[in-house]
Structure 1
Amino acid sequence: MTRPTPQTRLPPYVVGFYLVPEFPMMAFASAIEPLRAANRLRGEKLFDWQLYSRDGAPVRASNGIDINVHGAIDDEAAVDLLLVCAGTRDANPGDAAVSKWLRGLARSGTALGAISLGAYVLARAGLLDGRRCALHWESLAAFAEQFPRVRTTTDIFVVDGNRHTCSGGTTGLDMMLHLITERDGRALANDVSEQFIHPRIRGAHDSQRMAVQNRVGVANNKLIAAISMMETTNEDPRPVHDIATDVELSARQLERLFAKYLRVSPSRYYLKLRLDRARSMLLQTAKPILDVAVACGFASASHFSRCYRTLYGHRPSDERAALLGTRAPASRSRRH
């Protein structure tokens, strides 16, 4: 792309943010602050921004802080890029007015995008059909089930034509550094990155999750390999002795490694992985409890319910009921 010279400097590139109640503050700040920093470092207004809410009233973030906005969805949005920032999958459920507004922006040529779970809002409006989309790793399965026409990815951010999506957290910083690079050069993007003590501008395809060894805090290659196998076989759990054989250990040796580094048995660690995945599915999808149980390797709903209650202190049905606001789950037992 040819970058403008001082004599041909373009007007500021305007980014709009549509804030949904309970939007994640970190994700929002990670996207808007790089624009401010770029302006300050360059000494001119390269970027501008406008904030919108459903009715023009302040919007409360997930941390309880209210953010003032510039306008409502029925106001004219003179922006180059409009990003929807949301933190729950139920954001604007069935809101025809929001969908109509977004589709109108798309027809006018405005680029659209989403931060964190703002992708749900765009997808409900049909604005991600056939597009690649980045989404938080916890929400990928539920989103793909609800919106099969959207091409979900595990990338930290995606730019697919005039659709820009990032998976939340700090990934908005990387997506905006990509935008700054495209418009004003890598040198400025590097300077902005360093301002935020962000030592490396991540590429779109970087992993959302930490490597196993960093997540569990161990460096034993055999143990890491065993855990990796467990994480990829939740639906069809394998006997622990088979996993031990695959990492060239005896079952007793694998038991000792888990006891030494994680203070838990391999079978209990494996069970907790499956139950954690089940809990995520209960909270993120509408799958029946039996289907969740089967997807996480349990032979029956009753066995699943017993194991779930032992770990979390309440039944899967209580978890689902609490999500729907009909019942509070019991206190959790200590996790092992």
Structure 2
Amino acid sequence: MSSVSLRDVAALAGVSVGSVSNVLNRPGSVSASVSERVQSAIDSLGYVRNDAARQLRAGQSRCIGLVVLDIGNPFFSDLARGAERRATEEGLTVLLGDTEEDPARERVYIDLFAEQRVFGLLVSPLGGAMNRLRDLKKRGLSTVLVDWQTEGDRFSSVTVDNVAGGYLAVNHLIENGHRRIAFVGGPHSIRQVSDRFTGARNAIAQHPGATLEVIDTESLTVLQGRQAGERISQRKASARPDAIFAANDLLALGVLQAFNLSGRVSVPNDIALIGYDDIDFASTAMVSLSSVRQPSAEIGRTAVELLLRQVAGGAGFEPERIVFQPELVVRDSTSALR
């Protein structure tokens, strides 16, 4: 590790140590000529900033902790990308924690980021971490809930109306003539899953004769979707649903794979299929997948915006709750009942 100091950089550039600090931390406050001389000296000496020492002095880092349910889900990848781009504009860095839908991993990441004295937290919680987040909030750690909202707590949040999204999906299936509908998803302890299921039930309740079967999964992965699809395809044709609403696109793609591999079920001729999130793979699947679109990158960007406003507002900041509306995207997998 380089032992070059700020004084060495200042001496070579012919400026004060304060000017070097300004170039590194407040570049807009120094002239272009001074900035060029300092940067030339940094490059020549190979200076590397001791960020740990700077954070110790400031009492806070320039990093944002982002905790998500599953980075393998393209929805969260896009969300993280949106958050990272907005953070970069403010000279902040995003550190990612993937809980893999595991409460123990969730607690570890939240505590780790708190110990690192991060600038703030963006968390898509499983639910069990809320007490810990409340405690950290009382201690001054700014936190924004992502893809999640809670009524009783004073947390800022940014999410999508998942109840409305579930309603859109199932109402679309019903309008296309389907009546025996299955909901594939789980665990229901995940708020997004339970909200989408609630929306599905709301749509069913408005249409006499329509039914909703629940097919639980252990997680929201392609593999779990494939296993659910295999179980459905093994039934007699008369015992199968005529349409499926999957809690996310990964599950829907797994169901579609299982049907194609079995050769016993055709989408949409035998069973219509709709997912949720509208990830990139949805439009390029072997049968293009209908889905409910969420503005994933915009959710990430907005979460950083809320965090910046919260930090700037301090103790007097009033929490903000931003709810995006979902959008139905219709493709080949939900063609009208034939």
Q: Same fold (TM over 0.5)?
A: no
The TM-score, its normalising length taken from structure 1, stands at: 0.29
Between 1 and 2, higher relative CO (CA 8 Å, sep ≥ 6) is seen in 2
Which of structures 1 and 2 has the bigger CA Rg? 2
